[in-house]
Amino acid sequence: MRANDIANMGFAEAADCPVLLVGDIDKGGVFAQLVGTLELITESERARTKGFVINRFRGDIALLKPGLDWLAERTDKAVAGVLPYLHGLVIDAEDSVGTSGTNEPDALNVIVPVLPRISNHNDFDPLRLHPGVNLQFIGPDQRIPPADLILLPGSKSTRHDLQWLRSQGWPEAIQKHLRYGGKVLGICGGFQMMGRSVSDPDGLEGDAGTTPGLGLLNMTTRMVAGKTLKDVSGELTLGSGRPGFTGYEMHNGISCGPALERPMATLNGQPEGAVSEDGQIIGTYVHGIFDQPEATREILEWAGLGAQHQAVDYKAHRLEQLDRLADLVEECLDTGFLKHLLGLNRRH
């Protein structure tokens, strides 16, 4: 794994910046985590690792002090501090898929397949906090339960994950879901999967070739060189409200076909996404739509949720949670040491 690591130590090596190792004591074995990691990395990586942070500690920190002293002596590295366990903290996950939801009897049941190469699953974090939504992530070999809404997430390899969906019985489950009046929303790679085919002639996401899509929308997608990366803003066109939203696009591929003549939104006046002729299926390339409460309300009402439920302003919630974490970092870590690592104590 280290050979292909560009997000963690690989980035630090490329940028020539200092590193702090953070250990999760809530899972146990934190000293083994930190010392073992230090032993496994290269000499260059050990040299740039300047210290440690212990995260998610519960209890009396005085009881931990002998262990901290041993860690500093054993490794000749500083312990920058210990962060207590923050109850109720909800921030964007990087790689892990969060699970949450309500068990209210009138909740909207929403399910998401956990694709092997799922991406941008934090698109759905606002739904985890919504009081009217029961959000479930369905992993490999799990039973696919009845639902009101199926969300098809983004993917780092659309054709590969399409094949996985077939192996898990999702196409048949989706067709049954639609026969019973359910709704389906695809985002980015999930949107591409809903067409008639996905082709990758140059092998940009794996082996070159073409994979049949789910056939839910009359369109095709072709992977092309040059990834689309841009911030966007627009309006939903599902109902009469036309709520505004902001988000971003991050994808390979260009989709075309008659389905795009019935857009789900407009971006700067231009059509975006698609709506099926019967109105049960929608798709978009835009990530982050659920961050806006008005847009979330419009989509969930389309999916069958009553208007009495108030959506969460996830942008405000995110800032509030990050402020909680920042205050704790300032209180519990050696900020003088951190400023020294960042070169902020240097005189100009």
- What residues are annotated to the active site? 188, 287
Q: Which of 344, 247, 226, 340 has its CA nearest to residue 299?
A: 247
Measured distance CA(50)–CA(44) in Å, rounded: 12
- Cα distances from 32 to residues 25, 68, 126, in angstroms, run 10, 12, 35
CB 244 within 8 A of CB 288: no
- Cα distances from 104 to residues 132, 133, 329, in angstroms, run 7, 8, 36
Q: What separation, in Å, do the N-terminal and C-terminal C-alpha atoms of the chain show?
A: 41
Q: Find the largest Cα–Cα distance for the chain.
A: 69
Measured distance CA(261)–CA(222) in Å, rounded: 18
Q: How many CA atoms lie within 13 A of 30 on its CB side?
A: 21
Measured distance CA(292)–CA(245) in Å, rounded: 6
Which amino acid makes up residue 202? Answer: D
Which amino acid makes up residue 234? Answer: G
Question: Residue 108 CB: number of other CB atoms within 10 A?
Answer: 24
